[in-house]
Structure 1
Amino acid sequence: MKKYIIYSLMLIAGAVSSCKKNFFDLTNPNQPTSASAALVLPSALSTSAALVNGSYTVYGYWMGYLSPAAGYAPSQTLLTYNFTTTDYQVWTGYYLNLANYDYVLKQTAGDKTQVYFNAIAQIMTAYGFEGLVDNYNNVPYTKAFQGSANLLPSYDKGPDIYADLIKRVDGAIAAINGADTKVAVSPSSADIVFGGDMTKWKKFANTLKLRLILRQSNTSNFGTISGGIASTATEGYLTADAGANPGFQNIDGKQSPFWNVYGYSQAGSTKSPATTAGAYAVGLFKSNNDPRGPLFYQPIGGDIIGNVFGAAVPVTASNFGNTTISGGSFISGKGLLKSPYMDAILFSAAESYFLQAEAKFRGLAVGTTSAEDLYNSGIKASFESAYVGYTGTTKTSNNTAADADAVTYYSQAKNNVNYAASSNKIQAIITQKYFALTGYNMFEAYNEYRRTGFPNPPASVASGAIGDGKLPSRIFYPDTEYSQNTANVGAEGTINQFTSKIFWAK
């Protein structure tokens, strides 16, 4: 791959951080070409979902969802937190994909017929750059994507990027509302998330805006920026999972990204046999009488079992996810691993409700529904999600097994389960969000831990683990930046994985 290609506009094909073939291999990424927004958009959306659903196993370990399985020799880098600039990198994947959205933005700028494509690209640019800032803090933003005009872009400050992302989201919502519906072309099938339903895209954008603002709850200007919630509150928020699906197939490289990482190959071999349940998450599910536990983790002898992260001799723990394979055909069942055709979740309804619950508790303008009702709706949305595995459940049904189990669950007079019984409402909200994010968005759970300190999983117990019992606060900039963009990354100073923090961190 050419030097500095991550900042160029040469990429039209879907980009991921590896070199494997994926669902949208349209062209050689090193050979400039042109394509319509309708061709590039589904590639970019699919890759955004793949980054979230398949790139953050390490955060699953750190957050107690996962642990190395018995019978395997786990990486000492993983167990001891002694990682380097080459480990856990998502930098290139994000920038390659953001270049695709930038391409769409440039192709559609000022074109009234393409306003919906432009608005989606604006929203997803905000979504992608939020991911970069949350991983690395300061990153190239205003100087990125200038091609040969600027191969060595300087870094923007995280707070400045966040501020502009909120403006992007507001602008996208305004553009959708102001579009001339007689001339604006619907994204239709090119929109593999909502099928061209721009009302749903406004709700997605508004939910993302809420997350961007609440993420800054620890900053000195939170009181000022939180007022911005009111300007778009009437647009509403997501009430159903936003999942991307370009038509995943049971063909290696074209499977749903979560299945591709943790499920099975086309031939039936296990993709991640060394990854299993973490004792911390399993313990919380069990202590809270949470029926989702045995749906997220494969029971053994009727019980779910988790490994202590870093234990010298792991037990034979539960598998992460649960599915049945028979005669080479994948059978849908309870558990996180549904099928190779499953949607890749970009934003869940459960997270949307928990964001609203926190905002309401903080007195912010998100509507008239109480924080407790929003909290309970978040739990219900998690139980109702296709990821949990209840059959026959629909969002409009009032008498499903999922809803009944959810009510039974949150009616327990337990701290961090029942809202009224919880001594710290923010802790309760973030804890329940942690459960709801199991598997498909472990990065977001890590973000919320760094922001709030909840739920606070233990550090690795491995011999030689560094950090004095602390979890890492971030990953390093990639070695490609140190070798190619030396002066600009060097201006960020020495990065320490335990003391260097994202600007919004607690």
Structure 2
Amino acid sequence: MKTKTIFKRKVNLSLLFSALLLTGIVGCQKGTFDVNKVNPNSPTSAPSQYLLSAALASTASLMHGGNSDVLDNWMGYWTQSGGFTPSTTYVIYQITSSNYTGNFDSAYIILSNYNLLLKNAGNDPTQSYYKAMATIMEAFMYQRLVDLYNSVPYSQALSTNATFSYKYDDPATIYKSLVAKCDSAVTIINAAPSNALNPGNYDVVFGGNMPNWVKFAKTLKLKLLMRQTENGLGSAGVKSALSGMTTGDFLTVDASVNPGYSNATSGQLNPLYYDLVANATGQNGLNTTYYRANSYAVKFYQDHNDPRINAIYAPSGQEAIAYTTQLDGTIATNRAKVKGRDYGSTNGNGESNSVISAILGTGFTSAGKQKGPTQSAPLITAFESLFLQAEAVQRGYLAGDAGAIYNAAVAADFTFLGAPGAADYTNQPDALTNYSVSLDKITTIITQKWAAMNSVDPLESYSDWRRLNIPSNLPVSHYPGVTVTHIPYRFPYTINETTLNGANVPSGGTGTDLFTSKIFWMK
């Protein structure tokens, strides 16, 4: 049984540096080791640059290393192979406090590391950039926790407590504080003195480009505000909070983590690649043969002449590990070679891995080669930023041309996946692809955002579905005996919380009310 402190609140330096070494941050270049400097293998303290790199790498592993797999299933992107006995946790939604605990427990370990980085920086003006980045990433992590669990420990969460008694805070109040954190980080960066230490390559997201961190903070703020269009702040409140901002404030490049991913060992692989495609020796990854293409997403891409399908799924009968280059032939021919499986289907051999398409993940390079083990792990992509902006402009919260931003968002996703034909796709006479002919612009924007988030960040599309019911026809499991009419609204609190901090765990999210207990920003 793990100790209380490792779950959250108190940083574990050995764990932190293990994560850092696994991703190749320390000692990855010749001639950089200095015996007079801190030995990262025997840490008595955690220098800011190492804390930053390790915490960012751990954030990427949390997002892409399997903790979100269930959401890729629920959102119609993935399903389970007919060659395996179905997991009832997935297909009957029997979610308990013992499932997907990393989304909560590991998140607080990572938050402890960002908190330690904040303490290291203190009020030292030369550490301003580290302080700002830690502030932004704390907001990023807490946003994800609220979106999954609603009320979570916040105001007292990162303090040590001998009795492990941590207050759960109101989620709307947490969100308000997170918006303020984003604003504070921008102020810190803009006011940093000329001798502020730039993290350089220890910043494994932007390489020390602080203007991009400003845009990251503002894009995260936009995300936090747009969550609240239906409840929380409401439309008028969101518009007021965005007053003075322009579309030029937000990300136009991907905010992605890459601490030096390689295939030297499996622990150094890009986490999604290791989950879906292969290990370091070129054999199947952790879930290469377990997850297959979901018929819901496959049908959408095929019905709307979408070439992205061949950058997300392999042809029927071909494993992801062997599918290294895009198919020859016409887009339509290639698209037809992808086969999906209904979620919760009990048809075994008829829907085995020789029939149902494997999942590739996040596509191909511009040279047409499958993205490999060294690919970056996205936190917020340029296309997500653009879709957020398109919705905000369409709603009248920001000035701009919503149609042009929407087209740019779709094009950015095509580029991200290495898929051809973005302009043809958005110009076809289809209300769910062509913004100019759409009679429901918000549905078109959010539907295409859903299509873009496949295997990238299913929490974003899960949140849009809960906020707006888009896609409105998202199916529930076909498994025999399933009677629910929609997927769960939230995750249950983990067993560590219900056991160790049970007196503070609020009602809702215990495992029996996941279909009725809502996140605060839902209608």
Report if TM-score (shorter chain) is over 0.5. yes
2:208 alignment partner in structure 1: 196
Q: Which moved more, 1:62-71 or 1:215-224?
A: 215-224
Question: Do the aligned residues in 2 keep the contact of 1:332 with 1:338 (CA within 8 Å)?
Answer: no
One-letter amino acid of the structure 1 residue matched with residue 292 of structure 2? T
Query: 1:232, 1:323 → 2: CA distance?
Result: 31
Matched, 1:153 2:166: yes
Helix, strand or coil: the match of 2:470?
Answer: coil
1:447 alignment partner in structure 2: 463
Question: Do the aligned residues in 1 keep the contact of 2:362 with 2:456 (CA within 8 Å)?
Answer: no
Matched, 1:92 2:93: no
Q: CA deviation at 1:70?
A: 2.2
One-letter amino acid of the structure 1 residue matched with residue 518 of structure 2? K
Alignment equivalent of 1:48, drawn from 59, 81, 84? 59
Matches within 5 A, 1:1-400: 1-12=2-13, 22-23=22-23, 33-54=44-65, 55-89=67-101, 90-148=103-161, 151-180=164-193, 182-219=194-231, 221-222=233-234, 223-233=236-246, 236-250=249-263, 251-271=265-285, 272=287, 273-300=289-316, 302=334, 303-314=337-348, 315=351, 316-321=355-360, 334=368, 338-365=371-398, 367=399, 369-385=400-416, 388-390=417-419
- Return closer, same or farther for 1:202/1:322 CA change in 2, 3 Å cut-off: closer
Helix, strand or coil: the match of 2:152?
Answer: coil
Helix, strand or coil: the match of 1:294?
Answer: helix
Question: Do the aligned residues in 2 keep the contact of 1:322 with 1:333 (CA within 8 Å)?
Answer: no
Query: 2:225, 2:347 → 1: CA distance?
Result: 43
Question: Do the aligned residues in 1 keep the contact of 2:147 with 2:519 (CA within 8 Å)?
Answer: yes
One-letter amino acid of the structure 2 residue matched with residue 23 of structure 1? T
Question: Do the aligned residues in 2 keep the contact of 1:277 with 1:318 (CA within 8 Å)?
Answer: yes
- Return closer, same or farther for 1:363/1:331 CA change in 2, 3 Å cut-off: closer
Q: CA deviation at 1:127?
A: 0.3
Question: Do the aligned residues in 2 keep the contact of 1:409 with 1:417 (CA within 8 Å)?
Answer: yes
Query: 2:509, 2:88 → 1: CA distance?
Result: 27
Question: Do the aligned residues in 1 keep the contact of 2:89 with 2:95 (CA within 8 Å)?
Answer: yes
2:35 alignment partner in structure 1: none
Helix, strand or coil: the match of 1:345?
Answer: strand
Query: 1:332, 1:409 → 2: CA distance?
Result: 18
Question: Do the aligned residues in 1 keep the contact of 2:341 with 2:356 (CA within 8 Å)?
Answer: yes
One-letter amino acid of the structure 2 residue matched with residue 311 of structure 1? S
Query: 1:95, 1:42 → 2: CA distance?
Result: 17
RMSD, matched Cα: 2.7
> TM-score, normalised to structure 2's length?
0.86
Helix, strand or coil: the match of 2:72?
Answer: helix
Question: Do the aligned residues in 2 keep the contact of 1:24 with 1:43 (CA within 8 Å)?
Answer: no
Structure 1 residues without counterparts, runs of 5 or longer: 325-329, 391-401
Deviations 1:353-377 (A, max 9, x none): 1100000011113x4x300001000
Question: Do the aligned residues in 1 keep the contact of 2:114 with 2:138 (CA within 8 Å)?
Answer: yes
- Return closer, same or farther for 1:104/1:127 CA change in 2, 3 Å cut-off: same
Matched, 1:434 2:468: no
Query: 2:412, 2:20 → 1: CA distance?
Result: 34
Query: 1:150, 1:187 → 2: CA distance?
Result: 37
Q: Which moved more, 1:56-65 or 1:449-458?
A: 449-458
2:487 alignment partner in structure 1: 471
One-letter amino acid of the structure 2 residue matched with residue 389 of structure 1? G
One-letter amino acid of the structure 1 residue matched with residue 307 of structure 2? P
- Return closer, same or farther for 1:21/1:460 CA change in 2, 3 Å cut-off: farther
Q: CA deviation at 1:217?
A: 0.7
- Return closer, same or farther for 1:19/1:44 CA change in 2, 3 Å cut-off: closer
- Return closer, same or farther for 1:252/1:462 CA change in 2, 3 Å cut-off: same
Q: CA deviation at 1:308?
A: 0.3
Q: CA deviation at 1:235?
A: 6.0
Q: CA deviation at 1:15?
A: 5.8
Q: CA deviation at 1:12?
A: 3.4
Matched, 1:503 2:517: no
Q: CA deviation at 1:142?
A: 0.4
Query: 1:343, 1:227 → 2: CA distance?
Result: 35
Query: 2:456, 2:260 → 1: CA distance?
Result: 19
Helix, strand or coil: the match of 1:364?
Answer: coil
One-letter amino acid of the structure 2 residue matched with residue 482 of structure 1? T
One-letter amino acid of the structure 2 residue matched with residue 460 of structure 1? S
Query: 2:47, 2:347 → 1: CA distance?
Result: 54
Q: Which moved more, 1:117-126 or 1:441-450?
A: 441-450
- Return closer, same or farther for 1:322/1:178 CA change in 2, 3 Å cut-off: closer
One-letter amino acid of the structure 2 residue matched with residue 2 of structure 1? T
Question: Do the aligned residues in 1 keep the contact of 2:8 with 2:106 (CA within 8 Å)?
Answer: no
Structure 2 residues without counterparts, runs of 5 or longer: 27-37, 318-333
> TM-score, normalised to structure 1's length?
0.89
Deviations 1:309-338 (A, max 9, x none): 0111052211111799xxxxx999758x61
Question: Do the aligned residues in 2 keep the contact of 1:323 with 1:334 (CA within 8 Å)?
Answer: no
Q: CA deviation at 1:231?
A: 4.1
Q: Which moved more, 1:412-421 or 1:126-135?
A: 412-421
Question: Do the aligned residues in 2 keep the contact of 1:94 with 1:128 (CA within 8 Å)?
Answer: yes
Deviations 1:396-417 (A, max 9, x none): xxxxxx4xx1110000111111
Query: 1:493, 1:78 → 2: CA distance?
Result: 17
One-letter amino acid of the structure 1 residue matched with residue 90 of structure 2? L
One-letter amino acid of the structure 1 residue matched with residue 135 of structure 2? Q
Query: 2:301, 2:365 → 1: CA distance?
Result: 25
Q: Which moved more, 1:290-299 or 1:213-222?
A: 213-222
- Return closer, same or farther for 1:179/1:104 CA change in 2, 3 Å cut-off: same
Query: 2:55, 2:244 → 1: CA distance?
Result: 29
- Return closer, same or farther for 1:323/1:500 CA change in 2, 3 Å cut-off: closer
Helix, strand or coil: the match of 1:193?
Answer: coil
- Return closer, same or farther for 1:120/1:220 CA change in 2, 3 Å cut-off: closer
Q: CA deviation at 1:21?
A: 8.7
